[in-house]
Amino acid sequence: MAEYFPEVPKIQYEGPKSKNPLAFKHYNPEEVVAGKPMKEHLRFAVAYWHTFRGTGQDPFGVGTMIRPWEDPQDSVANAKRRVEVAFEFMEKLGVPYYCFHDRDVAPEGRTLRETNANLDAIVPVLKEHQERTGIKLLWGTANLFSNPRFVHGAATSCNADVFAYAAAQVKKALEVTKELGGENYVFWGGREGYTTLWNTDVKRELDHLAAFLHMAVDYAQKIGFTGQFLIEPKPKEPTKHQYDFDVLNCIAFLKTYGLDKHFKLNIETNHATLAGHTMMHELELARVHGLLGSIDANRGDLLLGWDTDQFPTDLYLTTEVMLVVLRNGGLAPGGLNFDAKVRRESFEPIDLFYAHIGGMDAFARGLKIAAQILEDGWLDELIHERYRSWDSGIGARIEAGEVGFEELEAYMLEKGEAAPNTSGRQELIENIINQYL
Ligand code: XLS
Ligand code: NI
Ligand code: NI
């Protein structure tokens, strides 16, 4: 087998003092943190689309990425070679998982039949490399947005044939994900949304989306695919308004259509910020509803209002993320997928290593810091204290459902005034958090 990154050895953990750019400073997969090895907390995955299909193209110019193994013809032979590249990269990096869209791994043909045959030619190659390396599929998904047929959406298209095409595509993608032992299956809303309400029957579109997802659940049961289904919220881009806007919108949709038993959420940092939320907000809202399934790890740019999908290197962010993940009792069967791309200016193959090493180290540190914060106990204690009025007396009676407005009025008429409030201590908390960073 040819070697595509001959200058890169297997990336090793060398500790915080190392100056080697091709070494981990914090990610030490077997090191035990909060009761289990780091690799089990973090469950890192590489995103096939950004890392192996990203060209660096933007609305103002063509691709810039130097990828010597790529052939401009998107042939099956090229797709097979790319699998070798991908697995060499992931093996050297030491990530346990990867994720893909159907169209990332195999080229689209002239007909659906031909496209499916292309996929069938690649799946055994992926499987062989999975078996050779032990690298597994975190999730599969279908690209229901790139081809012009999806101009009006897929499951929410005004064109019933497009709904049918999308259904056929997801059917195949589910079969492929099952064949490769995928642990999850993701639905990101692609073009499921609208650009103007003037031409849109929102009710019909939402009903169709729900019907589509029910069909997916039914088919998964039929073929015995037991992976977790995930919806990935995003508020806008490519449409002006995506139906899966944010965590609470998705929860309302899932509950309205009786889908909440079958789905969890795959939460992406840059989507959270596009929705006007922090990542911690989205994760926490999903967690408290029992719906935190998986994470697309990246970050946006404070000054740019689109999905820049940058690699996450901000320790404050990774600490917040890992705090919620620890409180969730972990992410499995989900994981941390780097849905992130190197900048257009970082066009050499080696930049792919630097980017992932940085993201993995940032999350490893975030994990260690979050675990320490929880172990030290002061944060939970502070929160516990803050809500102490609910642990006994009138608070406990309200929570137990023992009182209504009349009893509460009587209680307050008797007391005359509410007990004094206590400080929220935000600044103190932030000061203490900074001591860990
Ligand atoms: C796009 C999404 C996409 C999904 C997979 O913004 O993040 O990459 O993760 O379809
Ligand atoms: Ni994503
Ligand atoms: Ni995204």
* 382, burial (CB in 10 Å: exposed 0-12, middle 13-18, buried 19+): middle
Question: Does ligand 1 have an atom closer than 6 angstroms to the CB of 339?
Answer: yes
In this predicted model, what pLDDT tens digit does every residue of 367-388 receive, in sequence order? 999 999 999 999 999 999 999 9
Question: Does ligand 1 have an atom closer than 6 angstroms to the CB of 141?
Answer: yes
* Atom nearest to 141 CA in ligand 1: 10
Ligand nearest to the CA of 49: 1
- Whole-number Å distance, alpha carbon 336 to ligand 3 midpoint, is 14
Confidence of residue 307 (pLDDT cuts 50, 70, 90): confident
Please report the sign of the dihedral spanned by the C-alpha atoms of residue 112, residue 114, residue 120, residue 123: negative
Active site residue 208: no
Per-residue DSSP letter, 24: E
Which of 102, 104, 246, 339 does the annotation list as catalytic?
Answer: 104
Q: How many Cβ atoms from other residues are within 10 Å of residue 5's Cβ?
A: 15
Of 146, 268, 279, the one to substitute when testing ligand 1's pocket (max ligand atoms within 8 A of C-beta) is 268
> Average pLDDT over the chain, rounded to whole?
98
- Whole-number Å distance, alpha carbon 47 to ligand 1 midpoint, is 9
Question: Does ligand 1 have an atom closer than 6 angstroms to the CB of 268?
Answer: yes
Q: Is the pLDDT of residue 141 over 90?
A: yes
What percentage of the chain has pLDDT greater than the value 70? 100
Ligand nearest to the CA of 140: 1
* Atom nearest to 101 CA in ligand 1: 10
Q: Which pLDDT belongs to residue 72?
A: 86
Confidence of residue 425 (pLDDT cuts 50, 70, 90): very high
Protein residues within 5 Å, CB atom, of ion ligand 3: 307
Q: Is the pLDDT of residue 349 over 90?
A: yes
Q: Is the pLDDT of residue 220 over 90?
A: yes
Q: Which pLDDT belongs to residue 306?
A: 86
Pair of tokens at residue 106: 């195999």
Active site residue 277: no
- Averaged pLDDT for residues 306-310: 93
Strand intervals (E) in 182-306: 184-188, 193-194, 228-232, 241-242, 263-268, 292-296
Q: Whose CA is nearest to atom 2 of ligand 1?
A: 188
Question: Does ligand 1 have an atom closer than 6 angstroms to the CB of 192?
Answer: no
Ligand nearest to the CA of 154: 1
* Atom nearest to 337 CA in ligand 1: 9
- Averaged pLDDT for residues 340-366: 98
Q: Whose CA is nearest to atom 10 of ligand 1?
A: 188
Determine if the peptide bond prior to 29 is cis (ω within 30°).
Answer: no
CA distance 2 to 6: 9
Q: Which pLDDT belongs to residue 212?
A: 99
What percentage of the chain has pLDDT greater than the value 90? 98
In this predicted model, what pLDDT tens digit does every residue of 43-84 receive, in sequence order? 999 999 999 999 999 999 999 999 999 998 889 999 999 999
Nearest to 4 by CA among 91, 71, 68: 68
CA distance 273 to 399: 34
- Tokens 């299956």 map to which residue? 185
Which of 50, 101, 208, 271 does the annotation list as catalytic?
Answer: 101
Confidence of residue 252 (pLDDT cuts 50, 70, 90): very high
Question: Does ligand 1 have an atom closer than 6 angstroms to the CB of 296?
Answer: yes
Q: Which pLDDT belongs to residue 64?
A: 98
Question: Does ligand 1 have an atom closer than 6 angstroms to the CB of 307?
Answer: yes
Question: Does ligand 1 have an atom closer than 6 angstroms to the CB of 244?
Answer: no
DSSP state string for 346-403: --SHHHHHHHHHHHHHHHHHHHHHHHHHHHH-HHHHHHHHHTGGGTSHHHHHHHTT--
Q: Which pLDDT belongs to residue 1?
A: 78
Q: Is the pLDDT of residue 263 over 90?
A: yes
Strand intervals (E) in 204-271: 228-232, 241-242, 263-268
Q: Whose CA is nearest to atom 3 of ligand 1?
A: 188
Q: Whose CA is nearest to atom 4 of ligand 1?
A: 188
Of 97, 98, 177, 188, the one to substitute when testing ligand 1's pocket (max ligand atoms within 8 A of C-beta) is 188
* Atom nearest to 99 CA in ligand 1: 5
Q: Which pLDDT belongs to residue 56?
A: 97
Q: Whose CA is nearest to atom 8 of ligand 1?
A: 339
Ligand nearest to the CA of 103: 1
* Atom nearest to 50 CA in ligand 1: 8
In this predicted model, what pLDDT tens digit does every residue of 81-136 receive, in sequence order? 999 999 999 999 999 999 999 999 999 999 999 999 999 999 999 999 999 999 99
